[in-house]
Structure 1
């Protein structure tokens, strides 16, 4: 039987994995600068965590979750997103008691959603995200958005835009909810069954429908910004003020509601504007979720965060024809001419590696010419040749693969010589 990778998943092979590592390096360095400490939560959680936080009427919960029953007859779900698990950990470990608030957390790891595979979207995908929990300051909203924008800029993306909206507070949502029901109810039979089911449960989700997004009712639906309370409007103006201070351009979109139920106030997406990127342009999404901590059994603590797909980031780089500085070139390839030289090559390889000099040798007993070709294929900066003469002289022949120059260097000075050249 020929086994293949499961549908909706992928193997990330050497070469491609180097791109992932580079992106992750950029992300981790920016998290250090912004002071977002890493948190690692389980890959599966109790199913109710997601139905309560993400929302029972969302596509994620209704159609996309990988849920199973374990031997203890407990319903568990492979995490479809990261916020719920992070907030659960925040509550469970009483991080609300930490003196320095907000608690600023970051995570990166695989998520799982059963959806149709397409470019940049998989059933197992890697998501990076941050959560800032414990502050209702509009300035932290701007900081979270700035971090997301910085990541894309640091990896080299230029064809991106920030889209912004406010979902307002509870009073805003209640007023808008009533207006949506009144708008859609007379013609709800024209919409899909999902929209019909959501009309009285969560009509805001209708605006996020993928099937009916072109229906005329969507274009004439009540705009949420028209229902913002004075307090919610003032909060949103503060967020925009801080973005202006940070020189971060944005577009306003009254129909941006996001796909998860826990959002309120600030909501945003970062999109690719690159030609040929595809119909689905969203790279990153996030927003404020005040009230989620209390929904999960903790004290009320305001929060905001975002999540981005590493796969779609790499796809955007490809669309813009941008390359990452991988910095993974081989420093030294050691060629051994005979068995005695092979022993010395193994010794030198170990010595070089302890000094952080990337080193490779031949393990399939190829001739010198074949070993030289291997060094060239791997873009080695230097080749060290060891044979009977070199062992007798206790000096290696070192060839600079860029200039073609070669010289003899005694064994005891090899490390110093290579460090000076590299």
Structure 2
């Protein structure tokens, strides 16, 4: 009998493995540059995890999961995505009690969804994802998006655009949910059975429907951005302000809601018109999910993340730069909101110059930030407060020699190169 690989799976032969290793090196290099550490979770989990975390109204749960009973009759599911497993492990291993308030991790490995196979999308596929847990801040949202954009840039993709939207907080979502139901109720009988089932449970999913995508009611549906509370609007406005400050081109796409139920506040996708992928191709995306850890039995813990399908990235890989950077060279320590804005620019500048860099996002005092610099084994601490911002300089401390010097903004890179012996 002649055997073949199951539909929707592919064999990765030696020549292809070399290309996969190249992609993995690039992704690990970017993760290292952003001081994001690897985390590995099981390939299968209890089915209830995905029902609760991903949402029982999502297509992933209702149509696409590979679920089976083990020998004791327990329902298990091959993981269809990575965030739920990371959140479960975060709770189970009490990672919320770690001394660092912000936990930044990445995962890389196979996922499973029963869907129609196509170019760059299989039933067994691979995903690279990042999760940042523990701090609710627009700065962390932007950190996450900047890392996703850095991955795309490292792979040499052209004509890339960041699409951005907000789902708001719980009160915003409740108001929007009611508005969607009022909008679709008169035409509910004209929509497909899936949309009718979603109407009461989660009307946001109606907007993702492929069957009714061209129904007139879809185009005239209310927008999330019109139902934001003051605090949710302030969060989103700060995200946009930071992206503007970092000179990142983006489009506010009010139709963007993402396909999983756990999202709140910022959601985003990276769209490419690169000929290698085809016009209007979604490379990856993500967003904020502040209630997920709590839903899985942990303390209230904000989170934000993104994921890329690695098969799609393999198509984009041609021309990628493989230059690798190891370790953390600098830890930026802002004191105050104004200093934090400038700190983010300094971090972006240092990373653009090839330095592995991180910064404090939790608005702590110097003592706590110096502890982080020690834990991260940063070669340099870069300190700036109100006086430094006004004078356009920083205090740079060599953490090996303990020598601290006053350095103008324009001399930071040169000073770091000299201190690290890179001149």
> CA contact under 8 A between 1:22 and 1:326: conserved in structure 2?
yes
CA distance in 1, matches of 2:18, 2:271: 24
User: Cα RMSD between the aligned structures?
Assistant: 1.4
Q: Which structure has the bigger radius of gyration?
A: 1
CA distance in 1, matches of 2:7, 2:125: 12
Q: What do the CA deviations read for 1:232-288 (whole angstroms, capped 9, x no partner)? A: 010001111121222221101011000000000000001111247347711111000
CA distance in 2, matches of 1:326, 1:300: 39
> CA contact under 8 A between 1:272 and 1:316: conserved in structure 2?
no
Residue matched to 1:219: 219
CA distance in 1, matches of 2:156, 2:278: 19
> CA contact under 8 A between 1:22 and 1:324: conserved in structure 2?
no
Post-superposition shift, 1:57?
A: 0.5
CA distance in 2, matches of 1:68, 1:259: 24
Alignment of 1:64-79 (within 5 A): 64-79=64-79
Residue matched to 2:249: 249
Q: What do the CA deviations read for 1:153-201 (whole angstroms, capped 9, x no partner)? A: 0121122111000000011100010010011011111111000000011
Higher relative CO (Cα under 8 Å, sequence separation at least 6) belongs to 2
Tell me which moved more, 246-255 or 299-308: 246-255
Counterpart of 2:201 in 1: which secondary structure?
A: coil
Counterpart of 1:199 in 2: which secondary structure?
A: helix
CA distance in 1, matches of 2:320, 2:234: 41
Alignment of 1:178-193 (within 5 A): 178-193=178-193
Residue matched to 1:376: none
Counterpart of 1:86 in 2: which secondary structure?
A: helix
Alignment of 1:189-200 (within 5 A): 189-200=189-200
> Aligned pair count?
323
**2:164 aligned with 1:164:** yes
Residue matched to 1:383: none
Post-superposition shift, 1:324?
A: 4.3
> CA contact under 8 A between 1:38 and 1:107: conserved in structure 2?
yes
Post-superposition shift, 1:211?
A: 1.2
> CA contact under 8 A between 2:286 and 2:305: conserved in structure 1?
yes
> CA contact under 8 A between 1:265 and 1:287: conserved in structure 2?
yes
Length-normalised TM-score, structure 2: 0.74
CA distance in 2, matches of 1:168, 1:136: 13
Residue matched to 1:150: 150
Question: 1:6 and 1:280, CA in 2 relative to 1: closer, same or farther beyond 3 A?
Answer: farther
CA distance in 1, matches of 2:30, 2:278: 28
Length-normalised TM-score, structure 1: 0.75
Question: 1:5 and 1:73, CA in 2 relative to 1: closer, same or farther beyond 3 A?
Answer: same
**2:61 aligned with 1:61:** yes
> CA contact under 8 A between 1:286 and 1:305: conserved in structure 2?
yes
Residue matched to 1:42: 42
CA distance in 1, matches of 2:321, 2:241: 35
Counterpart of 1:200 in 2: which secondary structure?
A: helix
CA distance in 2, matches of 1:316, 1:196: 38
CA distance in 2, matches of 1:275, 1:189: 40
Counterpart of 1:15 in 2: which secondary structure?
A: helix
CA distance in 1, matches of 2:56, 2:108: 25
Residue matched to 1:81: 81
**2:261 aligned with 1:265:** no
CA distance in 2, matches of 1:45, 1:39: 16
> CA contact under 8 A between 1:287 and 1:305: conserved in structure 2?
yes
The runs of 5 or more residues in structure 2 that have no matched partner are: 324-423
Residue matched to 2:27: 27
Residue matched to 1:323: 319
CA distance in 2, matches of 1:297, 1:266: 23
Q: What do the CA deviations read for 1:99-119 (whole angstroms, capped 9, x no partner)? A: 112111110000000000011
